[in-house]
Amino acid sequence: MAMIHLSIPIKDIASTVRFYRDILGCTVTRQQTDRLDIDFFGHHLVAQLSELEASHKSITIGRGNYPLRHFGVIVTPDVYDRMLSSLIAAKVDFAMAPDRIFIGTPREQSVFLVFDFSGNAVEVKGMPDPQQVFSAG
């Protein structure tokens, strides 16, 4: 088994726990005064306090200007719908509103992009078969 390890900057611990644990449903596996370890859908996400880091909008994708630097997860439609409902209930602003793209192809997917409370861009894709993201079609 292999997993991705990703470190992201955060502005504070409490809002990060709220976003990733309470809203997205991830597990915080370790909490220290300056960092969190998060089980991000089976991958190791480390959220570290850093006042110097900042996210920015830097690239045009589709209909808008979105952050080039982002990460996310590809999940089944039921998990996607649960996450979307939770984000809407928490009144989280969408950087890219929920949409369907690649319609009629094996890569057809529901997608949205949000900023966590520290400004990190998180993209969520919903696909019946997440492995189809590698399809050439």
Q: How far apart are CA 131 and CA 79, in angstroms?
A: 15
137 pLDDT higher than 70 = no
pTM metric for this prediction:
0.84
Question: How far is residue 34's CA from residue 37's CA, in Å, rounded to a whole number?
Answer: 11
pLDDT tens readout for residues 71-124: 999 999 999 999 999 999 999 989 889 999 989 999 899 999 999 999 888 999
Q: Minimal CA–CA distance to 47: which of 29, 67, 69?
A: 29
The answer, yes or no, to whether residue 56 has pLDDT greater than 80, is no
Q: Locate tokens 């989280």: which residue?
A: 92
How many other CB atoms are there within 10 angstroms of residue 45's CB atom?
23
Q: Which domain holds residue 121?
A: 5-134
As for how many domains the chain has, the answer is 1
Task: State the average pLDDT for the chain.
Answer: 89
Token match 């996607």: residue? 80
Predicted confidence (pLDDT) per residue in 59-74, tens digit: 666 666 677 778 999 9
pLDDT digits (tens, 9 = 90+) for 2-14: 889 999 999 999 9
What CATH number does the domain containing 44 carry? Answer: 3.10.180.10
